[in-house]
């Protein structure tokens, strides 16, 4: 780790990023002095801005929408997890000056479900909604937990099929459109689609939830999301938004940069308070 403790998140838009809050809180908690800024990058300027950041002694970057795939293409070396996701959200340079990339999104999501929520994924039947970048990053960490089966449902069925082909690795993955959902009950339903669904738009009428079904929305906000409301109405056993995932992916990035694992729980609580106050 260089002496320079300058960090930032690059994205567009970036105004609502909570990353500066989270990393400052982790830094205080761990006694690590750092500066962390949220920077809006013009669409054509990502590569130049990233190179300039590290050339000027910046220590680490988080990358958010819409630059994660571009960041993956830019790095000299990425981790196996990032290669499977084909996207990078955490950048740093190694002692040889090579630009390195990691993807902490999926592992942050699984950690939130398993460590924070206490949900068991092993042997469970999982429904994943969406087949875009967020789901691609989630599948490897999910499969490492050894669920019994994973069904991917997506508006564009071919994209779900492609993910199944790519990630199956001998495990039981299936796919369909929303009209052809399997009838068997699911133990976990994860909304990884970027649709700002209204409750009416959720096409999950055919979905059966098992008695102890957990429902997780990768989105979050001051109010329960439409998917969370749908889950509650359908008697899900437990329901969560994606705020914990946001903090956990940041905790993983913090670990990559500083070699210290912060305690996420108090920061999740603080952030809940901030969101409620802003509502």
Q: Is 156 in the site for ligand ATR (CB under 6 A)?
A: yes
Residue 136 vs 258, nearer CB to ligand ATR = 136
Active-site entry in 15, 68, 124, 212: 68
Residue 74 vs 219, nearer CB to ligand ATR = 219
Nearest one of 248, 249, 231 to 240, comparing CA atoms = 231
Give residue 8's region: left, alpha or beta (phi > 0; psi -120 to 50): beta
Phi (first) and psi of residue 144, to 5 degrees: -65, -25
- Give, as ranges, the residues between 105 and 134 that touch ligand ATR (CB under 6 A): 130-134
Interface residue with ligand ATR among 193, 225, 240, 264 (CB under 6 A) is 193
CB of 26 to ligand ATR, least distance (A): 24
Interface residue with ligand ATR among 5, 37, 159, 272 (CB under 6 A) is 159
Interface residue with ligand ATR among 29, 47, 174, 194 (CB under 6 A) is 194
Count the site residues for ligand ATR by CB under 6 A. 12
Token code pair at residue 226: 């439409």
Residue 92 vs 227, nearer CB to ligand ATR = 227
CA dihedral 119, 120, 125, 128 (to 10 degrees): 50
Q: Hey, which residues does 239 pair with through a beta bridge?
A: 215
CB of 157 to ligand ATR, least distance (A): 8
Pairwise CA distance, residues 80 & 211, whole Å: 36
Interface residue with ligand ATR among 155, 162, 229, 272 (CB under 6 A) is 155
CB of 130 to ligand ATR, least distance (A): 4
Pairwise CA distance, residues 267 & 248, whole Å: 10
Interface residue with ligand ATR among 32, 49, 117, 195 (CB under 6 A) is 195
The yes-or-no answer on residue 68 being catalytic is yes
Residue 133 vs 262, nearer CB to ligand ATR = 133
Query: Can you say whether the dihedral through the CA atoms of 269, 202, 105, 170 is positive or negative?
Result: positive
Token code pair at residue 152: 């991917």
DSSP conformation class of 133: H
Phi (first) and psi of residue 221, to 5 degrees: -175, 180
| Contact residues for ligand ATR, defined by CB under 6 A | 130-134, 154-156, 159, 193-195
Q: Which of the residues are catalytic?
A: 68
């Amino acid at each position: 780790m260089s002496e320079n403790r300058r960090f930032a998140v690059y994205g567009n838009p970036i105004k609502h990023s909570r990353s500066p809050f989270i990393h400052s809180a982790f830094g205080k908690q761990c006694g690590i002095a750092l500066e962390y800024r949220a920077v809006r990058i013009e669409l054509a300027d990502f590569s130049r801005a990233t190179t300039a950041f590290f050339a000027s002694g910046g220590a680490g970057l988080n990358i958010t929408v819409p630059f994660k795939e571009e960041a993956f293409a830019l790095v000299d070396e990425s981790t196996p997890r990032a290669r499977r996701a084909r996207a990078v959200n955490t950048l740093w340079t190694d002692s040889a000056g090579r630009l390195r990339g990691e993807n902490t999104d999926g592992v942050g999501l699984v950690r939130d479900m398993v460590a924070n929520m206490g949900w068991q994924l092993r042997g469970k039947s999982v429904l994943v909604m969406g087949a875009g970048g967020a789901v691609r990053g989630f599948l490897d960490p999910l499969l490492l937990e050894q669920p019994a089966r994973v069904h991917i449902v997506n508006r564009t069925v071919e994209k779900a099929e492609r993910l199944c082909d790519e990630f199956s690795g001998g495990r039981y993955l299936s796919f369909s459109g929303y009209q052809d959902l399997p009838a068997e009950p699911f133990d976990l339903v994860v909304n990884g689609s970027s649709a700002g669904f209204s409750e009416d738009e959720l096409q999950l009428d055919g979905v059966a939830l098992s008695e102890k079904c957990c429902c997780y929305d990768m989105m979050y906000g001051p109010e329960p999301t439409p998917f969370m409301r749908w889950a509650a109405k359908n008697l899900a056993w437990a329901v969560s938004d994606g705020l914990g995932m946001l903090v956990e992916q940041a905790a993983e990035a913090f670990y990559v940069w500083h070699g210290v694992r912060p305690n996420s729980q108090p920061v999740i609580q603080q952030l809940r308070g901030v969101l409620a106050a802003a509502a």
